[in-house]
């Protein structure tokens, strides 16, 4: 267990936005919350999963809803914490620690907001290793862990317990419905996990990894070195393509932002084109018409100069971007993992082939 | 005969033009003065001297960066009260969060957070705490604060909480100036609230400045109504505009682009405005600058404004050329001291202008003073300038096809006649005063940015269009002349039904004064 410094949240915000693979929501507001908390003297603690006892309970938290609503109804740490205490009341048991649902985007910082209020440590890890759009796209779902109960609270005094759900899909449908009813923004505490489940089924070390990526970007910028090279080095990634956005088409279907971005090659990639399909996050990239990179490998689109991640909602014509792939957590690469988060889970009739194979 | 006067107050020069119908009848360039108004008075006097008909102008439009500079330089700012309506949500991120400390210390007066606000579909979040608002209004009055900014959650979709709060303020302290966030910005509470706070802290300055402009006008014997130009290339009557100083933050570059469109008679083109220190590249759509979607920082404060999407490059006529080791171009510039420090003007600093004179691109100063510059150096410098411009132009294009490029500004001689990705480079008469021309031709606009649900795309756009037209008329437009200039719709992730965020902007000619 170790204290987390205020500076580390600045790094975490950068790194988590990169691991968001185009989705996950901007960490900006969550970062502002942490700055406010630290100004008041709060210090959060990060714990290694190995420090958990097998029968400890861990609260997996995340914000749920539309990113746009989150820009008006700014989430505060107390509401995040409320979802956790409500689960404790329902279970009649206390949590030992808090953990992130997804390390990609704003949800990387949300558990720290809850932890600051509850005075609990945060487990170094998550259950996606990136960002994904749906509840069943987690390492816990791949391991067939139980998906209930779930608590969902809003900032008024509304709270919902989903006591049981027949499947991950049902849990997604029921909780999504409740979330919409309270204004499309809610804080949730997912099914509680035992220490044993965390150690065996979570994606461990992802918080430290995200901080490390952010720190590498910051160090490279200070030294006027290439921040993208720094990311590739620290996260053992592969450069897929570099160029400028040439065309961008978006549409929403079934509540998701889907679309395709076409990138025209520059420098070493001149004369080539990369076509990137996304469903909130980047899903598949075709180089000159041939599949080149696909989920669950992490597909990250970065500003070629600053190294900042670019979200699928903010892609624009003319942006100079570099596309990199980062390795997916091993659990996502198992046959069961591919079933949950491989290209077919997003509607692409492709056999998964990793860039890193 | 329709006569309009356009004035652009830049950092270096105050330019004025007289338009008779659609013809540039007279132009004037005078140095900008520290008090701004003296420069305007001088420019108007010179204009009237050149074209006495200027006195009969039916409208005068002034573009100024005075208010942006006040924020950037932290001067003449008033203390404001911030009223946020949105509790219980957002309690942890109060107004002024993430402001630079020095600016917040100057501006932050009373901070009030109250229950109220709305959902994304217009339903109330919780009932508005009117009792709390009344108590706050009294505190504001007792604290002697003269300007208040009010921001409510989702006010762009339902403004009733902000309106109600303003009504209470008017009852309790009728003399305070009130800025409502929904009049200024879009979705994004913190950024919209920041815009309202900036506006509120500038409102006193805007009032005195606008009145000084009016006096300058009257002193010059011109009776026409005064308009101030806005970031989006349109104008507001000065009496209205003085309540919205933030709307004029980027009016300088916008006026240049609008002037470029007018002088070249092109509505769809790229514009390059080469000044003394920087070059701005923008893109014209339907004759208006394409707007930025992103967060814009002003004086270190994050805002979302109607701002032109501009790429600023550190290249201008005064940009210094270094030759000590490898050849370097900029970003340092001698700026307005070019006519003392440039080589061709007898100074000792090698500038981009000197290179252009040596290459014969323009005849300025004493050409003999650059005769000894090595030809290879001149060639390499020009190649670099070309590459910089080509890359900048390419970044601002909206699609891959070739587009025309209109060159304006005092340094437009630096733009090569042929460029990669550019179908033609257009040089236009009066290009050095394009900004004042842009001010003179400005029209009145109205904009709506709203989320519609369970409507077809066409219905949503039609509804937004009607609301935008009403706004334009309220700002002084003639309804019969209104045109739609921008329609944008973005489907939204994770919202139920068929949620569509629709933005429509319309413009019309200035309605004749009754």
Distance CA A260, CA A263 (A): 10
Nearest to B255, CA basis, from B276, B272, B234: B234
State the pairing for strand pair A150-153/B269-274. unpaired
Distance CA B98, CA B79 (A): 18
Distance CA B314, CA B327 (A): 16
Distance CA A12, CA A124 (A): 12
Distance CA B447, CA B156 (A): 11
Distance CA A337, CA B212 (A): 70
Out of A126-130, A255-259, A340-344, least confident range: A255-259
**A27-67 tens-digit pLDDT:** 999 999 999 999 999 999 999 999 999 999 999 999 988 87
Q: What is the pLDDT of residue B34?
A: 77
Q: How confident is the model at residue A255 (pLDDT cuts 50, 70, 90)?
A: low
Do B98 and A180 make contact, defined as CB atoms within 8 angstroms?
no
pLDDT over threshold 60, residue B493? no
Out of B40-54, B95-109, B394-408, least confident range: B394-408
Q: What is the pLDDT of residue A252?
A: 61
Distance CA A298, CA A215 (A): 19
Structure-block tokens of residue A120: 């609990």
Averaged pLDDT for residues B54-78: 89
Structure-block tokens of residue A228: 């993208």
Mutate to test the interface with B, among A73, A106, A273, A311 (most CBs of B within 10 A): A73
Q: How confident is the model at residue A314 (pLDDT cuts 50, 70, 90)?
A: confident
Do A318 and B190 make contact, defined as CB atoms within 8 angstroms?
no
Q: What is the pLDDT of residue A56?
A: 98
Mutate to test the interface with B, among A29, A72, A110, A306 (most CBs of B within 10 A): A72
In contact, A107 and A83? CB cutoff 8 Å: no
Q: What is the largest CA-CA distance in chain B?
A: 78
Nearest-CA distance A76 → chain B (Å):
5
- Beta-carbon-side half-sphere exposure of residue B151 (alpha carbons within 13 Å): 29
Out of A15-24, A309-318, B215-224, B463-472, least confident range: A309-318
Nearest-CA distance B511 → chain A (Å):
36
Q: What is the pLDDT of residue B497?
A: 62
Q: How confident is the model at residue B513 (pLDDT cuts 50, 70, 90)?
A: low
Q: What is the pLDDT of residue B496?
A: 56
Residue of B nearest to A37 (CA): B92
3-state DSSP helix/strand/coil percent for chain B, to nearest 5?
35, 30, 35
Chain B residues in contact with A310 by the CB 8 A cut-off are none
Burial class (CB in 10 A: 0-12, 13-18, 19+), B69: middle
Supply the ipTM of this predicted assembly: 0.92
C-alpha triplet B336, B340, B345: angle, nearest 5°:
115
Distance CA B374, CA B380 (A): 10
- Beta-carbon-side half-sphere exposure of residue B507 (alpha carbons within 13 Å): 16
B393 touches chain A (CB under 8 A): no
The CA-atom distances, in angstroms, between B110 and each of B144, B183, B383, B469, B498 are: 10, 22, 56, 36, 41
- A3 versus B459: the higher-pLDDT residue is A3
The position carrying tokens 């990169």 is A18
**B248-276 tens-digit pLDDT:** 888 888 899 999 999 999 999 999 999 87
Do A74 and B120 make contact, defined as CB atoms within 8 angstroms?
no
Average pLDDT of chain A, as a whole number: 94
Chain B residues in contact with A317 by the CB 8 A cut-off are 397-399
Q: In A, what residues contact B, Cβ < 8 A?
A: 29, 32-33, 35-37, 65-69, 71-79, 155-156, 180, 183-184, 244, 246-247, 250-252, 255-257, 264, 280, 313-314, 316-318, 320
Max mean pLDDT range (A215-224, B117-126, B195-204, B216-225)? B195-204
Chain A residues in contact with B91 by the CB 8 A cut-off are 76, 78
In contact, B141 and B178? CB cutoff 8 Å: no
Nearest to A36 among B93, B123, B188 (CB): B93
Structure-block tokens of residue B39: 């420069």
Nearest-CA distance B497 → chain A (Å):
8
Helices and strands per DSSP (H, E), number in chain A: 12, 18
Q: How confident is the model at residue B105 (pLDDT cuts 50, 70, 90)?
A: very high
Do A255 and B494 make contact, defined as CB atoms within 8 angstroms?
yes
Average pLDDT of chain B, as a whole number: 89
Nearest to B492 among A247, A252, A320 (CB): A252
B492 touches chain A (CB under 8 A): yes
Distance CA A136, CA A165 (A): 12
State the pairing for strand pair A238-253/A256-265. antiparallel
- Beta-carbon-side half-sphere exposure of residue B504 (alpha carbons within 13 Å): 25
The torsion region of residue B489 among left (phi > 0), alpha (psi -120 to 50) and beta comes to beta
Chain B residues in contact with A29 by the CB 8 A cut-off are 93, 190
Do A255 and B493 make contact, defined as CB atoms within 8 angstroms?
yes
Chain B residues in contact with A314 by the CB 8 A cut-off are 293-294
Burial class (CB in 10 A: 0-12, 13-18, 19+), A337: buried
Q: What is the pLDDT of residue B514?
A: 43
B497 touches chain A (CB under 8 A): no
Which 82-101 residues of chain B touch chain A by CB within 8 A?
A: 86, 88-93, 97-98
> What is the SS3 assignment for A234?
helix
pLDDT over threshold 90, residue B161? yes
Max mean pLDDT range (A5-19, A216-230, A261-275)? A5-19
C-alpha triplet B40, B45, B47: angle, nearest 5°:
95
Q: What is the pLDDT of residue B72?
A: 84
pLDDT over threshold 70, residue B494? no
Distance CA B58, CA B69 (A): 29
* Segment (H or E) for B444: strand B444-453
Nearest-CA distance B101 → chain A (Å):
13
Averaged pLDDT for residues B294-317: 83
Mutate to test the interface with A, among B493, B495, B499, B501 (most CBs of A within 10 A): B493
What are the structural domains of chain A?
2-206 (3.40.1610.10), 236-346 (2.40.390.10)
Q: What is the pLDDT of residue B476?
A: 77
Query: What b/e sequence results for A278-298 when a residue is b if at least 16 CB atoms lie within 10 Å of its CB, and e otherwise?
Result: bbbbbbbbbbeeeebbbbbbb
Out of A213-222, A253-262, B339-348, B370-379, least confident range: A253-262
Q: What is the 3-state secondary structure (H, E, C) of B262-294?
A: HHHCCCCEEEEEECCCCEEEEEEECCEECECCC
Do B125 and A264 make contact, defined as CB atoms within 8 angstroms?
no
Residue of A nearest to B401 (CA): A246
Angle between the N-to-C axes of helices A110-118 and A28-39, in degrees from 0 to 180, rounded to the nearest 10: 30
* Segment (H or E) for B232: none
State CA B41 to chain mean position distance: 23
Residue of B nearest to A177 (CA): B496
Nearest to B491 among A32, A180, A250 (CB): A250
B421 touches chain A (CB under 8 A): no
Distance CA A4, CA A124 (A): 11
The CATH-assigned architecture of domain B80-202 is 3-Layer(aba) Sandwich (3.40)
The residues near B39 (Cβ < 8 Å, ≥ 6 apart) are: B9, B14, B30, B31, B32, B33
The residues near B303 (Cβ < 8 Å, ≥ 6 apart) are: B185, B191, B192, B194, B195, B198, B246, B295, B296, B297
Strand-pairing partners, residue A290, are A287
pLDDT over threshold 60, residue B96? yes
The ranges assigned to domains in chain B are 80-202, 313-433, 443-508
Q: What is the pLDDT of residue B293?
A: 65
The residues near A223 (Cβ < 8 Å, ≥ 6 apart) are: none
pLDDT over threshold 90, residue A267? no
Do B491 and A184 make contact, defined as CB atoms within 8 angstroms?
no
In contact, A106 and A63? CB cutoff 8 Å: yes
Mutate to test the interface with A, among B84, B90, B92, B154 (most CBs of A within 10 A): B92
Distance CA B248, CA B65 (A): 7
Do A252 and B89 make contact, defined as CB atoms within 8 angstroms?
no
Strand-pairing partners, residue A99, are A60
Nearest to A32 among B98, B490, B492 (CB): B98
Which 284-303 residues of chain B touch chain A by CB within 8 A?
A: 293-294
* Segment (H or E) for A320: strand A320-326
pLDDT over threshold 90, residue A210? yes
Cis omega (within 30 of 0) on the bond before B88? yes
Q: How confident is the model at residue B290 (pLDDT cuts 50, 70, 90)?
A: confident
Residue of B nearest to A266 (CA): B391
Q: What is the pLDDT of residue B465?
A: 94
Q: What is the pLDDT of residue B451?
A: 76
The residues near B212 (Cβ < 8 Å, ≥ 6 apart) are: B36, B37
Residue of A nearest to B395 (CA): A318
Rg (CA), chain B: 24
Interchain CB contacts (distance < 8 Å): A and B: 113
Q: What is the pLDDT of residue A256?
A: 67
Do B495 and A66 make contact, defined as CB atoms within 8 angstroms?
yes
Residue of A nearest to B188 (CA): A71
Distance CA A113, CA B133 (A): 30
Model confidence pTM above 0.80: yes
Nearest to A36 among B88, B97, B294 (CB): B97
The torsion region of residue A335 among left (phi > 0), alpha (psi -120 to 50) and beta comes to alpha
């Amino acid at each position: 267990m170790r204290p987390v410094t205020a500076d580390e949240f600045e790094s975490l915000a950068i790194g988590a936005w990169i691991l968001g693979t185009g989705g996950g929501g901007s960490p900006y507001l969550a970062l502002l919350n942490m700055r406010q908390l630290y100004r008041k003297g709060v210090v959060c603690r990060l714990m290694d999963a190995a420090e958990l006892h097998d029968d400890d309970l861990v609260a997996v938290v995340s914000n749920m809803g539309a990113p746009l609503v989150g820009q008006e109804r700014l989430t505060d740490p107390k509401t995040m914490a409320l979802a956790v205490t409500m689960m404790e009341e329902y279970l009649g048991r206390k949590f030992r620690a808090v953990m992130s649902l997804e390390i990609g985007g704003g949800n990387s910082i949300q558990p720290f907001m809850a932890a600051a209020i509850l005075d609990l440590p945060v487990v170094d890890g998550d259950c996606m290793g990136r960002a994904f759009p749906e509840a069943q796209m987690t390492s816990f779902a791949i391991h067939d862990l139980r998906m209930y109960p779930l608590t969902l609270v809003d900032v008024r005094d509304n709270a919902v317990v989903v006591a049981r759900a027949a499947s991950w899909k049902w849990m997604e449908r029921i909780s999504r419905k409740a979330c919409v009813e309270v204004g499309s923004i809610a804080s949730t505490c997912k099914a509680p996990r035992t220490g044993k489940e965390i150690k065996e089924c979570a994606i461990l070390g992802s918080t430290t990894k995200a901080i490390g990526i952010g720190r590498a970007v910051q160090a490279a910028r200070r030294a006027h070195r290439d921040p993208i090279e720094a990311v590739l080095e620290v996260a053992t990634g592969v450069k897929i393509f570099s160029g400028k956005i040439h065309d961008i088409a978006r549409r929403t279907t079934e509540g998701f932002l889907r679309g395709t971005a076409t990138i025209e090659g520059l420098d070493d990639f001149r004369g080539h084109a990369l076509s990137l399909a996304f469903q909130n996050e980047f899903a598949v990239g075709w180089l000159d018409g041939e599949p080149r990179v696909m989920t669950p490998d992490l597909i990250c689109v970065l500003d070629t100069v600053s190294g900042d991640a670019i979200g699928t909602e903010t892609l624009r014509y003319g942006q100079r971007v570099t596309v990199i792939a980062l390795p997916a957590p091993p659990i996502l690469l198992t046959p069961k993992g591919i079933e949950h988060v491989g290209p077919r889970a997003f509607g692409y009739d492709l056999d998964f082939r990793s860039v890193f194979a | 005969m329709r006569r309009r006067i356009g004035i652009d107050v830049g950092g270096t020069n105050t330019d004025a033009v007289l338009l008779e119908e659609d013809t540039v009848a007279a132009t004037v360039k005078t140095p900008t003065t520290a008090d701004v108004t003296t420069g305007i008075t001088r420019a108007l006097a010179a204009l009237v001297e050149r074209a006495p008909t200027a006195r009969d102008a039916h409208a005068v439009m002034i573009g100024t960066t005075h208010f942006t500079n006040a924020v950037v330089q932290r001067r003449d700012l008033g203390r404001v009260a911030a009223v946020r309506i949105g509790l219980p949500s957002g309690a942890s991120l109060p107004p002024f969060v993430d402001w630079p400390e020095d600016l917040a210390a100057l501006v932050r007066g009373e901070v009030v957070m109250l229950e109220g606000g709305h959902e994304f579909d217009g339903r109330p979040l919780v009932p508005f705490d009117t009792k709390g608002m009344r108590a706050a209004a009294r505190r504001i009055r007792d604290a002697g604060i003269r300007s208040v900014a009010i921001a409510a959650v989702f006010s762009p979709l339902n403004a009733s909480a902000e309106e109600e709060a303003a009504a209470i303020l008017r009852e309790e302290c009728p003399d305070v100036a009130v800025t409502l966030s929904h009049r200024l910005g879009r979705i994004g509470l913190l950024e919209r609230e920041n815009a309202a706070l900036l506006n509120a802290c500038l409102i006193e300055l805007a009032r005195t400045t606008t009145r000084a402009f009016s006096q300058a006008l009257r002193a010059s014997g011109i009776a026409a109504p005064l308009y101030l130009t806005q970031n989006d290339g349109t104008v507001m009557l000065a009496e209205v505009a003085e309540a919205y100083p933030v709307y004029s933050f980027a009016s300088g570059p916008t006026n240049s682009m609008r002037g470029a469109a007018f002088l070249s008679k092109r509505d769809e083109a790229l514009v390059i405005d080469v000044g003394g220190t920087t070059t701005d590249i923008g893109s014209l759509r339907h004759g208006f600058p394409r707007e930025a979607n992103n967060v814009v920082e002003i004086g270190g404060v994050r805002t979302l404004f109607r701002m032109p999407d501009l790429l600023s490059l550190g290249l201008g006529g005064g940009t210094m050329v270094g030759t000590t080791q490898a050849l370097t171009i900029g970003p340092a510039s001698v700026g307005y001291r070019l006519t003392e420090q440039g080589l061709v003007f007898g100074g000792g600093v090698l500038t981009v202008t000197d290179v252009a004179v040596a290459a014969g691109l323009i005849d300025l100063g004493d050409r003999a003073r650059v005769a000894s510059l090595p030809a290879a150096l001149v060639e390499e410098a020009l190649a670099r300038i070309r590459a910089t411009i080509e890359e900048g132009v390419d970044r601002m294009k909206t699609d891959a096809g070739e587009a025309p490029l209109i060159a304006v500004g005092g340094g437009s001689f630096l733009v090569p006649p042929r460029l990669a990705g550019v179908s033609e480079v257009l040089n236009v008469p009066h290009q050095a005063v394009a900004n004042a021309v842009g001010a003179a031709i400005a029209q009145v606009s109205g904009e709506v940015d709203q989320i519609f649900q369970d409507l077809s795309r066409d219905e949503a756009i039609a509804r937004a269009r009607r609301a935008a037209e009403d706004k334009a008329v309220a700002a002084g437009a003639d309804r019969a002349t209104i045109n739609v200039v921008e329609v944008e719709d973005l489907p939204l992730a994770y919202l139920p039904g068929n949620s569509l965020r629709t933005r429509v902007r319309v413009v019309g000619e200035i309605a004749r004064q009754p």
